[in-house]
Structure 1
Amino acid sequence: MAQSVLRNIRYRGLTTCVPERAFSNVQDCPPEQRSERERLVRNIGIETRRVCLEGVVFSDLALVAAEKLIAGLGWEKSSIDALIVVTQSPDYPIPATAIILQDKLGLSHGTVAFDINLGCSGYAYGLFTLGSMLSAHGLKRGIMLVGDKSSNPLSLDNGLLSLFGDAATATALEFDEAAPPMYFNMGSDGSGHKAIIIEAGGQRVPIQPHHLERLPGADGISRKGTDVILDGPSILNFSIREVPVAVAELVEFSPFGLEDIDYFVFHQANRMINETIRKKLGLPAEKVPMSLKDFGNTSSASIPVTINTRLQEALAQGPQRLLLSGFGVGLSWASCILEIENAYLPPLIEI
């Protein structure tokens, strides 16, 4: 495991933007499937997810979240030194979406801006990347935009069960010598890269006409070559094998015990995975907030979405120590322990 401590980095704020449009896995399905759908929803825990309107993409949500965050903090845009975008839903293959948003946000030409292509583990990796840049001195303020447009249009057209929702979040970090340390534990296993994959569209498998047709796969599911393929059993086994160990190793690396953590915020994969992880770690349910029911699996945004929508009241009452843990596509995983105090966390933004 790659373990590290970041010093002098203050968590200044978090905003979350989601589409106003919501779809229900129970209500928005054919009536004859209602009973079976209710059973599935009880198992996966995803009742509703937010879905972008036609023509709206991740960066549109991210732009709104970033503008709200910068205004709420009262930061001059000229004082922002870095802009990192963590997404698997870029506007274009090239250029990087961060460069486009640097211009749309009116940030200076001296802003460091780049993308990170990560999904479920991306929030913790992004905190580590941006925090490392700021802790090296010279750079003082940074914004991290995290999320994806993950909803599947096929599920909307056909009333199919969907796990994924759309969301974008903006997080502000600032160099501060009085800030408490952040502790990180990260890992990857590329031998499992096919467990979550879009096969066509890169240079390994360039898009051909047949990739745009919905054809039945080996699992009997019809999909395009540009659709995501999920190996459910492999993802389940990976998650419940690696995450509890990674969390335990992070706690051992830090000066804290499990009892010293106020809340544990895990990537919102599905209810079965998350509950298994919670029970293996022996954590009380009240210390493990979940946003699955209302937003679904929002990829790299799921951890900040959960913080913003489930912990706003707790964070308003005083400093809170959180353990964040993301895991999935790659396969990759990353966990961190950080303290949040007096951060700007406005209510959820819906557009």
Structure 2
Amino acid sequence: MQNTGIAITGSGSAMPAASLENQAMAALVDTSDEWITTRTGIKSRQIASESESLSSLAAEASLQAIAMAGIAATDIDLILLATSTPDDLYGSACKVQAALGANRAVAFDLTAACSGFIFAIVTASQYIRTGAYRNVLVIGADIHSRWVDWSDRTTCVLFGDGAGAVVMQASATDKLLGFELRSDGEQNHYLNLAYASDTQELVPGVTVSTGNYKSVTMNGKEVYRFAVQKVPEVIDKALFHANLSVDDIDWLLLHQANQRILDAVAQRLNIPNHKVISNLANYGNTSAASIPIALDEAVRAGKIQPNDTIVASGFGAGLSWGAAIFKWGK
């Protein structure tokens, strides 16, 4: 099969209805708007109610992306759902497929935490380049409000819920210019959503582990140190693969984790602030959803224009990180 180019032709996003502002957080934990804003840049976040699901948010974002791309759901060949918080531990991509009516698509989940959307874009690109599939729906969605400890101010103030999606299509002109992905399991313990087990003896000498999951735990200082060091490096590698320089970048689109990280990475790369896309103040850290949500907002606001060169980078649990460079549009 002949190799082919790739274009990202549509985007969409969806957030839960309820907003939780910093002032309201003070009723839950010992914090304040000033404490949160100065340390993170976050002012508010959207929180999913018990009637809202990851699958429904993912489907809503996907319908918008499919419509913008100008295709039908039945044209989709593959659905990749990047999430760490599925509705079902067996995966939620197939449920999204059914909700969309994308009955020709194969669907599966991909878990790489806050790097998940970048990892999914690169995974999708391999299927397109080989000619296996022509139309791929890539979704980043997370509902971390289910898994944070709402008495721990070091984590609960950070996370919001949401979903974003893009359509990637085979194209005569290749607009996915380069990428680089990395993982370091030696630093896994710095950011976890770990299994919590209870031991049950079935019969004498035979025990099983049953249980649930703990809340999110994070060493914020180490994650910050990791991000500001490794993200500029991985972006440099991706630029090298694309035969581009920093001056060729129109937009820097980072995982929306912390405004101080966004600022530090941009400074290390010598990218001016007006080229940095940030919606962190309104949504907090939406994990795998953060990059596609910010992308969709910037596209629909007319900020990102066709053929603009975007460097996107995700980083987080694993620890994992990666960057992808692409030109927007058909």
Is the alpha carbon distance of 1:257 and 1:182 closer, same or farther for their aligned partners in structure 2, counting shifts above 3 Å? same
Within 2, Cα distance between the matches of 1:46 and 1:273? 12
- Residues 106 and 121 of structure 1, relative CA distance in 2, 3 Å threshold: same
Find the counterpart in structure 2 of residue 165 from structure 1. Answer: 160
Who is 2:269 aligned against? 281
SS of residue matched to 1:125: helix
Pair 202,175 (structure 1): closer, same or farther in 2 beyond 3 Å: farther
Establish whether residue 118 from structure 1 lines up as the match of residue 112 from structure 2: yes
CA shift for structure 1 position 298: 0.6
Structure 1 counterpart of 2:284, which letter?
G
Amino acid at match of 2:165: A
CA change 1:28–1:237 in 2 (3 A) is: closer
Supply the distance in 2 between the matched residues of 1:130 and 1:286 (Cα, whole angstroms): 30
Whole-Å separation in 1 of the counterparts to 2:243 and 2:316: 27
Name which of 65, 68, 82 aligns with 2:78: 82
One-letter amino acid of the counterpart of residue 239, structure 2: V
Tell me, yes or no, if the aligned pair for 1:165 and 1:298 is still in contact at 8 Å. Answer: yes
SS at the partner of 1:26?
helix
User: Paired residue for 2:143?
Assistant: 149
User: How big is the shift at 1:206?
Assistant: 4.2
Distance 1:142 1:175 in 2: 9
Query: Is 1:326 matched up with 2:314?
Result: yes
Which of 283, 291, 310 is equivalent to 2:279?
A: 291
Match of 2:170 in 1: 175
Describe the SS at the equivalent of 1:289. Answer: coil
Contact 1:143 1:173 in 2 (8 A): yes
Deviations 1:229-282 (A, max 9, x none): 111122112112211111122222222110110001111111222222222222
Q: Distance in 1 between matches of 2:148 and 2:237?
A: 40
- Measured after TM superposition, the shift of residue 122 of structure 1 is 1.1
The answer as to 2:121 corresponding to 1:133 is: no
CA distance in 2, matches of 1:134, 1:249: 22
> Could you state the TM-score of these two structures normalised by the residue count of structure 1?
0.83
Contact 1:193 1:330 in 2 (8 A): yes
More strand by share: 2
Q: Which residue of 1 aligns with 2:202?
A: none
Partner of 1:221: none
Q: 1:193 to 1:167 in 2, by over 3 A?
A: same
Aligned length: 319
Q: 1:349 is matched with which residue?
A: none
SS in 2 for 1:297: coil
2:46 counterpart of 1:58 = no
Q: Which of 45, 52, 56 is matched with 1:49 structurally?
A: 45
CA-CA distance at 1:202 after TM superposition:
8.0
RMSD: 2.7
Alignment of structure 1 residues 207-218 onto 2, 5 Å: 207-208=210-211
When normalised by structure 2's length, the TM-score is 0.88
Equivalent residue for 2:34?
38
- Give, in angstroms, the shift of residue 203 of structure 1: 11
Moved more, 121-130 or 269-278: 269-278
For 1:340 and 1:207, how far apart are their aligned partners in 2?
A: 46
Aligned to 2:265, what secondary structure does the other structure show? helix
**Distance change in 2, residues 1:331/1:28 (3 Å):** closer
- 1:21 is matched with 18
Out of 227, 239, 244, the position equivalent to 1:239 is 227
Gaps of 5+ in 1: 1-5, 212-224, 343-351
Unaligned runs of 5+ in 2: 200-207
| Code of the aligned partner of 2:26 | C
